[in-house]
Amino acid sequence: KKKVAPYEPHSFLRASERAPGSESHHSIQGQEELNEQMRMIDLADDDLELLRRMKPAIVRNIDEITDHFYSSVIDVGKLEQIIVKHSSIDRLKQTLREHIVEIFDGSVDNRYITKRLVIANIHKKVGLEPKWYLSAFQNLQNVFIGVIYKEAFNDAERLKMVQTLTKLLNLEQQLVLE
Ligand code: HEM
């Protein structure tokens, strides 16, 4: 099975291309480790291709995904307070929408990783504890899987889509735990 090209240090997370703000990945060693993390979850070229094929279905259902996400978040009193204090539901729905759609561009490159590290840091600053962050990802995953089934792909394709999707969500959680 063909491994994703970005695993190669020459094409992925090169030190020379690092965007500012990616403090936790400023060493070559950190970048190589991230490549190893991706290898470990078996993220490969075919996953990235599949993400791109899934994109229209996700875009069609983006409101359902973000609405469900935020209604579950504001059900938790202390999370709602964090949002009210630092932002607003409407603003966050919009940023989450962009964030989600971008996953399905299937370009896990330096920019993608850096952006997610920055967002993880923003959440640390607003005092969002990792347990809530991880709960939020599970919530997101539940809705995603529902959407995949609703969109009626065939069985084999659904299985692959769920596997691919969970890899990408897991990668994002790995970045949050950095
Ligand atoms: C900001 C995504 C969970 C509260 C953001 C931003 C994104 C994002 C893309 C925008 C960052 C920017 O302004 O550039 C996510 C994802 C989550 C998640 C993918 C989990 C799957 C949560 C949860 C809360 C939360 C559970 C509950 C309190 C906030 C707040 C900001 C923010 C308050 C704005 C911070 C600011 O503008 O100062 N999030 N979020 N997020 N998120 Fe989340």
Distance 137 CA to ligand 1 centre (A): 12
In terms of Cα–Cα distance, which of 141, 56, 65 is closest to 104?
56
Residue 97 burial by CB count (10 A; 0-12/13-18/19+): exposed, middle or buried?
middle
Distance 4 CA to ligand 1 centre (A): 29
Query: Is there an atom of ligand 1 within 6 Å of 117 CB?
Result: no
pLDDT in tens, 100-152: 999 999 999 989 999 999 999 999 999 999 999 999 999 999 999 999 999 97
* Residues 108 and 161: beta-carbon distance below 8 Å: no
Q: Which residues does residue 44 pair with via DSSP β-bridges, in sequence order?
A: 3
- The answer on pLDDT for 16 being more than 70 is no
Distance 63 CA to ligand 1 centre (A): 17
Contacts of 29 (CB under 8 A, 6+ apart): none
ipTM score of complex: 0.95
- The answer on pLDDT for 23 being more than 60 is no
Q: Give the separation between CA 49 and CA 88, rounded to whole angstroms.
A: 34
